[in-house]
Structure 1
């Protein structure tokens, strides 16, 4: 048995060397996002089995995960520690990550959430939301959680983090839910995070939720949930900055990627925006909701966003900017380009009257400001509604640019609908609203 353990550790050390080689193989990716978070190699390696972990799908491994992470947190190995999860199904309750660690899921490894909701602790509402997103009061802690941590990597050989969300979806549907459901992965007040080469499946609520974070890379992930699973957003950067989301496939029951920044008076008071976010080479579908969304929680502001090279299929809305009176916040300097859509109900939608309120204390005169949104190079096939751009009469959406957009519809294709917007259009088919001034020449809007 001891000899087997020594051989296993030698193999793990070899794996660390292989991980270094992998970083070189993925050089094309890291030339894009390496300035956001550089990849690090961990020379200290432990396995969940060293702490009693059993991957039989029945044994509860909560203590094993918490013990292993406690060891990482308190021994402070130079360069951090890699926690290896070998093939198998490791049933566990929620657990917290710590700084200077890599959670590595081998091929065939599944970290599976227990369905016993009573074992999930409650945590305080997010200060920029003021209450749970679904229910007043607290909320259930996320399955994998981190608060005020840094230098963290979640990666592997496309192992799976499985939220077993059906029990939570049922509680939401039958109205027996008492508190807001847990996310699959939530990181708060954290920085220097890499999430890559992992499958996220059946989240109880939002899948990946970095909130109040900076320097976050999410790459080569697959996110899956049934089309009828409620509020299973794929990736929601929230009041976060310097975020890079790339090269991933998402198929869920809600928005694939949604940029947020707080809810009404609570988000306005917290005053932390989402900024400097890049989203590129994302493919997927979400028939009930949107491919790429901005909001509807936008009270802290959203600015300096680049979205490019997106492929959307069988989706309700392709690009959706959504806010409301009472939200406040400035939404500006957003570029969306090189988008392909197929079988999409609404190609482009801006709405100033979407989303509910946390309570009746919001200020209806806190109006959002939308200024400087460019959508360039969009090709759509089987699009029913090319565009609906509806701002707010007291706060029109300004400097909207549509350029080189070709949306092929069906016999039931609807005309563009616009209200309270200002901007320009160039090379758009079918031609949009008269509120968008026609420009001449080639290139994008001035």
Structure 2
């Protein structure tokens, strides 16, 4: 076994126990801290809490028979002081509004120090983070969000500069600069923050409040649970997020981010409740996270056409590993808001279970010439009961004009400033079993074909009682069942040791594919 340090603070640590397992370890292990057993674990990414600041630790890992599998030594970070929110007036009784008291502790916290939220239920509206501090939600602590939108601050979409030569963007909704309610936790232009612990954040959303008439803007668009706008070096560890008003975690124009060992859950029928959506972000790591949602688990974005042209900021260098994606629309989605482009996305050593799609690429005409998708890599994955494991859709029928002839026509249009590009995609060492709809469905633009799709060591098999559905959301695509590999408008398709078992009809169906390498 190889043990790697993923994250440490003054009070916690996350480790990767690499025994060859994917999300789950191959067996249950005992974790010892300085020789004393503190827990058992069966997940590859595991975390420990309750450590002391500025202290040396040795972590040992043993199997059920007491055989040492590995160890790692480290020193926790320095901590100056701890500010307990109870000393600032917070009650944690689930009834009183504790927003002001917790915010006071955050604002008073000096650098290299901790705001501690002990066990209890703390009713809040919006909290705003501050640079250089740690915020810990202890075991048994719950932040319970108020559901009265009149109590929430509004973040405007665009504020024009005094000299009318620039603007300041705060609010955003589905790729456009629009007013939104402040997040339950918001970070705006902050850096070097740890948000961690064994506690939970409860958005308290349901179909009687935030999810009612979900397409209508009432005062402003729905808040995220954790909203990070132009932040740097933010680390989020261990927390349980659930019942979000909209997207759960939304990093926006932010860099150097780590999301580790989280649980992110929303009901199966909850609108726009994506799990984690990095938008125009760079250097993002997502590891050991369990998603179970009513929308996309992870959706990598970079805005619609105004934001793409105005800021030209792609999402890049995003690494997703050792995660579990359950019951979402897409396990990992790119788009459809991707006008700034997405590049260097690696997804590896993850399990996808019962999602509609595994990889889900969504784009359309009008996203713009900066909407370039390149170097998208999926490898070492296990999928089970995924409807369609691999999809790329250049005709996604989003937005008010999504079903128009301009977006949906399969005839070639002139390549212009509104034409998006899909370049290199690689899928290797992937097993997908008990699938339903299609092994893959790649549908590029005729005027701007997908440059290259490589599939290597990929095995797809279908469920015995497979369900029929549409493989992608696009006009003219009919529901199907046990369809093989479908590709249209692709320059080069590389198939190396690809097996499809149990499909009905052609195993491989190609249209307007220039080159096939087997």
Contact preservation (8 Å) 2:320, 2:346: yes
- CA shift, 1:268, in A, is 2.2
CA distance in 2, matches of 1:104, 1:279: 24
Q: Which residue of 1 aligns with 2:385?
A: 343
- CA shift, 1:18, in A, is 2.7
SS in 2 for 1:18: coil
- CA shift, 1:160, in A, is 0.1
Unaligned runs of at least 5 residues, structure 2: 1-10, 12-48, 62-74, 159-167, 408-414, 465-480, 501-506
CA distance in 1, matches of 2:226, 2:491: 39
Residues 1:375 and 2:417 are matched in the alignment: no
CA distance in 2, matches of 1:16, 1:345: 42
Q: How does 1:285-434 map to 2 (within 5 A)?
A: 285-287=326-328, 289-328=329-368, 329-357=371-399, 365-384=417-436, 385-410=438-463, 412-423=481-492, 424-430=494-500, 431-434=507-510
Deviations 1:73-124 (A, max 9, x none): xxxx3x4220001111011111100001111011111011111111011112
Q: Which residue of 1 aligns with 2:144?
A: 112
SS in 2 for 1:69: helix
CA distance in 2, matches of 1:80, 1:292: 35
Contact preservation (8 Å) 2:426, 2:454: yes
SS in 2 for 1:387: strand
The 3 A distance-change label for structure 1 pair 420 and 134 is closer
CA distance in 2, matches of 1:140, 1:264: 23
- CA shift, 1:132, in A, is 3.2
Q: TM-score, normalised by structure 2?
A: 0.73
Deviations 1:157-213 (A, max 9, x none): x21011111144432348574531100001111101110011111111111111111
Q: TM-score, normalised by structure 1?
A: 0.85
CA distance in 2, matches of 1:70, 1:418: 54
- CA shift, 1:136, in A, is 8.5
The 3 A distance-change label for structure 1 pair 188 and 178 is same
Q: Which has the higher helix share?
A: 1
Q: Which residue of 1 aligns with 2:125?
A: 93
- CA shift, 1:433, in A, is 3.8
Unaligned runs of at least 5 residues, structure 1: 1-10, 28-37, 441-446
Contact preservation (8 Å) 2:225, 2:244: yes
Q: Find 2:94's aligned residue among 36, 57, 61.
A: 57
Q: Which has the higher strand share?
A: 2
Deviations 1:378-427 (A, max 9, x none): 11111111110001111111111111111111354113322111221111
CA distance in 1, matches of 2:487, 2:116: 53
CA distance in 1, matches of 2:375, 2:257: 20
- CA shift, 1:133, in A, is 2.9
Contact preservation (8 Å) 1:136, 1:179: no
Superposed CA RMSD in Å reads 2.9
Residues 1:210 and 2:251 are matched in the alignment: yes
- CA shift, 1:266, in A, is 2.5
Contact preservation (8 Å) 2:177, 2:307: no
SS in 2 for 1:154: strand
Contact preservation (8 Å) 1:369, 1:395: yes
Q: Which residue of 2 aligns with 1:33?
A: none
Contact preservation (8 Å) 2:257, 2:285: yes
Q: Find 1:68's aligned residue among 91, 97, 105.
A: 105
SS in 1 for 2:212: helix
Contact preservation (8 Å) 2:156, 2:171: no
Between 1:409-418 and 1:98-107, the stretch displaced more is 409-418
Between 1:131-140 and 1:93-102, the stretch displaced more is 131-140
Deviations 1:354-393 (A, max 9, x none): 1534889x99851111111101111111111111000111
